[in-house]
Amino acid sequence: MTEQFDIAIIGAGPGGYSTALRAAQLGNTVALIERDPTPGGTCLNRGCIPTKTLLDATATFDAIKHTSTIGIHAHTDPIDFPALHQWREHIVSTMTTGLSSLLARRGVTVFRATAALGEPHDPTGMQQRAIRLTPSPGQNDVLRINTQDSTPQGASLTINAANVVLAMGSRPRPLPGIPFHNAIIDSTQALQRDFPTSATIIGAGAVAVEFASIWNSAGCNVTLIIRKNCVLSAWDRRASTTLTRELAKRGITIITNATVTRIDSPSPREATVHYRTKGSDEDQSLQTQVVLGAIGRDPNTSEGWIDASGIALDAQGHVVTDEFGRTSANGVWAVGDITAGHALAHRAFAQGITVAERIAGLNPKPVDEYTIPQVVFSRPQAACVGYTGAQAKASGRFLDITETAYPMMGNARMLMSGSAGAMTVVSGEDTDNPGTRVLLGVHMAGPEATELIAEAEQLVGNHVPLSEAARLIHPHPTFSEAFGEALLKADGRPLHTR
């Protein structure tokens, strides 16, 4: 007999497992289907968690190397790569084991399998979707995952669900016409290797600058090749320019306004990158041990069953949804990286909760892309939420838009850190509420930016009037005090600045 569920979720990354946890909490029977040996998707297994573990570790190594500036003379041995990788795997294992236990406690049924969505049918008066499960690569059977072990279910299993949530995630995008091979690697492969002695990174986004920071701190000779004149080029200009300058000060070579024309890689430990800069007709080249392609990610939506199920995709292969996650196919929803927008775990969490509550008949608000913080764990860090000045002006929703820049070097903790930074506050009046200035966006680069942005998200997301936000008290001396001073300046009441 075919097993019935209220909700079946394909993919156990942040979007999938957050949907499962909230749906089970609301009393639904839930099946969660994942191809990988452990839940958590890219984020827990080969993305956010392992990369930030390496960033923390190399930050310690980097700090020790620079203590002589403040009169502390310390020396270190070379990095013990086996021990470092063991630590990274311990962190990942702890997180995925904890997630598995939580899913079990919530009563979520987990299958390790590859899933394909079948045609809708109506066996009991309620329209159902059949989901056919087949073994994941390397398995002989579909596995039902229990707390302590797994139970084989045979070479094929079909389950039914009234609602299906797609959460298949994304994969690294190869360079145009240059597949990943030999020394040309993606971010997943970069985590599996020892740190190179020289590396060329192609890209200017979060993955590119985070790996540049990791490898640079570990003593690697790092070159960034970027298409425009600064990293994070879609961000606020001050934040992206400051981060570009600081990366260069730390010894990272940044080749701007450049396009890669070809890469020769005869072995896994050597490559020659050929590139051309803007205004030049001749290629230049550089030798490197490894090339990391970090130009973005593509949604995992190329399976034939997606088209056959009537699920509409956009030109980039993202699943088209309404503001609540509904797709063009009845009873089918989508969350996470397979939908257009910020490819971030915390966005997927919010989408999963919204979808689960919508299916349960609740009335949640849709996820607002402009209240999703973007964070980059480079050195220094960068973070932003809300509108840039240009975006606010282009939206047509706001009046009297102002960009207020705060001089971060006026903050005592910034001086102590030895790093530079940038802070921009965007404010204006909403056309629906003229006469009241609100916080529209916050953009920053500097130490602890990824933590400071949480306060900014609350103010932007809750449309707090600027005058009220500026009255909030920030402890002294802290990095957060810089944000408080920026709010005062934006409100026309600067304290330590003009």
Q: Cα separation of 123 and 213, whole Å?
A: 56
Report the run of H or E that residue 145 belongs to, with start and end: strand 143-145
The helix/strand/coil state of 392 is: helix
Q: Cα separation of 321 and 332, whole Å?
A: 10
Q: Are 398 and 440 in contact (CB under 8 A)?
A: yes
Q: Cα separation of 11 and 36, whole Å?
A: 9
Q: Cα separation of 215 and 224, whole Å?
A: 12
Active site residue 476: yes
Q: Cα separation of 460 and 473, whole Å?
A: 17
Buried b (16+ CB within 10 A) or exposed e, 301-340: beeeebeebebebeeeebbebeebbbbebebbbbbbbbbb
Q: Is the C-alpha dihedral spanning 121, 126, 127, 131 positive or negative?
A: negative
Which residues are documented as binding site for NAD(+)? 203-210, 296
Residue 350's nearest CA partner among 41, 11, 30, 18 is: 18
Q: Cα separation of 384 and 283, whole Å?
A: 36
Strand residue runs (E) in 193-269: 198-202, 221-225, 253-255, 258-267
Q: What is the largest CA-CA distance in the chain?
A: 77
Catalytic residue among 121, 346, 476, 496: 476
DSSP-derived secondary structure letter, 135: P
Q: Are 377 and 55 in contact (CB under 8 A)?
A: yes
Q: Cα separation of 9 and 163, whole Å?
A: 9
Q: What is the dihedral of CA 268, 269, 274, 278, to 10 degrees?
A: 110
Which residues are documented as binding site? 52, 203-210, 296, 337
Q: Are 22 and 357 in contact (CB under 8 A)?
A: yes
Label the pairing between strands 157-166 and 332-334: parallel
* Residues that are catalytic: 476
